[in-house]
Amino acid sequence: MKHSVLSKLGQRSEAPAISWLMEVALSRPQLISLAAGFTDNESLPVNDARDLLNEILKNRKTGQAALQYGTTARRPDAA
């Protein structure tokens, strides 16, 4: 008897719509799909992002604020 790693609910669930969108985008290279998050790697602004990150992370206070993903309870400017 073959056992699935998925729960019974997981075995009954359907593939998410994004999977279909990604399949269509990959099968049609002439299609410019904005739905599945595919990007042209050559168009990514790596140098600009590096400059911005260096500016934000150059001191401890701004670096910590930028990297914080938890509560903003102690930040009065985050209201």
Sequential pLDDT tens for the chain (79 residues)? 577 788 888 888 888 888 888 888 889 988 877 777 777 788 889 999 999 999 999 999 999 989 988 766 666 666 5
Domain membership of residue 58 (yes or no) is yes
Place of tokens 């992370």: 57
Cα–Cα distance measured from residue 57 to residue 67, given in angstroms and rounded to the nearest whole number: 9
> In this structure, is residue 32 part of a structural domain?
no
Whether residue 63 is contained in a domain is answered as yes
**Number of domain units in the chain:** 1
Domain-located, residue 64 = yes
C-alpha distances in Å from residue 58, one per residue of 31, 50, 78? 41, 12, 21
In a domain, 57, yes or no: yes
Residue whose entry in the numeric block shows the structure tokens 């998410």: 16
Read off the pTM.
0.46
Closest by CA to 18, choosing from 31, 33, 35, is 35
| Cβ 72 vs Cβ 78: under 8 Å | yes
Provide the residue range defining the domain that includes 58. Answer: 45-69
